[in-house]
Amino acid sequence: MRSIIRLGAVLGIVGSIWVSPNPPLRWFSSLPVGTQPAYALPENQIMEKLRSIPVFTITDTQGAPLVATVPQANNKNASVAGVFISRNDAVAFVDRLKARDPQLASTIQVTTVSLGEVYRMSQQAQGAEDNVQFAYVPVQKQVESAKSVLQQNGQSVNELNGVPLFIAKGGPDNGYLTIQNGNEQVIPIFFNKEDLQNMLTQFKTQQPDLISSVKIDVVILEGLLDALKRDNDQFLNRIVLIPPRETLEYLKQNQP
């Protein structure tokens, strides 16, 4: 597993949000039945959505992921590799490992990988006897933000299992907030609540009368990945995942 992020591809996908000072924002509502065929997304389209999302894992110098052996309920063990949304969290993990096992820590590194590559490997590993499972590690601050959002939306939340993502809804039909990407309107879903709020600040200047109807909602990354390969929903065809701004800034400064 290598560092396969291409910075140009990442910034090209999300540039309409981060580069344009005033991206055109609209509402997306479900289209009437029969206006478009409904079908589950093919594998290549799922990969296209995920390939430009940088995540981080711990590997050896050859790119093989560091795995932990985790006991299962069936008396078998599972090999689990961590996939970190934040590079800072991955670095902190390595620092803690240095204190416990300096020899092992000296052989590993934090590696940038594509979420699409992680998804591809997880799909290939299903059913294999010695498959490696991938456990996504959320940013704790975003977990707490997601809990607050869900509580504000009237949901009782004690624990949140998975990586939270943030999306804006509102308007006359309680549709999803969209942004222009080339010739189409796409629905941005953010890994960081603060990044979504920055976009809403722009929206407030464009449509001040509608900003009062906007609310932030939470979806879970793991559930979204499962839905992409199973469900036939127009919403899934239009979504674009937006990596944290700090991740893009790190890549811009450090990638060749």
Encode pLDDT of 138-149 as tens digits.
999 999 999 999
User: Both tokens of residue 60?
Assistant: 């050896």
Task: Share the mean pLDDT of the chain.
Answer: 80
Phi, psi of 27 (to 5 degrees): -110, 145
Residue bearing tokens 């942004």: 179
112-170, pLDDT tens digit by residue? 999 999 998 888 877 666 678 899 999 999 999 999 999 998 887 877 889 999 999 88
- The CB density around residue 220, as the number of other CB atoms within 10 Å, is 18
Query: Given this model, what pLDDT does residue 27 score?
Result: 55
In our burial notation (b when 16+ CB lie closer than 10 A, e otherwise), range 82-100 reads bbbbbbebbeebeeebeee
Task: Give yes or no for residue 246 having a pLDDT over 50.
Answer: yes
- Is residue 140 exposed (0-12), middle (13-18) or buried (19+ Cβ within 10 Å)? exposed
How far apart, in whole angstroms, are the C-alpha atoms of residue 155 and residue 165? 16
How far apart, in whole angstroms, are the C-alpha atoms of residue 7 and residue 255? 7
User: Both tokens of residue 189?
Assistant: 């879903």
Average pLDDT over residues 35-58: 79
61-97, pLDDT tens digit by residue? 888 888 888 776 666 777 888 999 999 999 999 999 9
Task: Give yes or no for residue 181 having a pLDDT over 50.
Answer: yes
Distance in angstroms between the alpha carbons of the first and the last residue of the chain: 18
> Chain-centre distance of CA 160, in angstroms?
15
Answer for the pair 226, 173: CB distance below 8 angstroms, yes or no: no
Task: Give yes or no for residue 225 having a pLDDT over 60.
Answer: yes
pTM of the model: 0.84
The structural domains of the chain, ordered by start, are 22-254 (3.40.1350.100)
Task: Give yes or no for residue 36 having a pLDDT over 70.
Answer: no
Answer for the pair 110, 87: CB distance below 8 angstroms, yes or no: yes
How far apart, in whole angstroms, are the C-alpha atoms of residue 178 and residue 239? 9
Using CA atoms, how far residue 92 sits from 53, 82, 84, in Å, is 21, 13, 11
Query: Given this model, what pLDDT does residue 86 score?
Result: 96
How far apart, in whole angstroms, are the C-alpha atoms of residue 172 and residue 174? 6
Answer for the pair 65, 59: CB distance below 8 angstroms, yes or no: yes
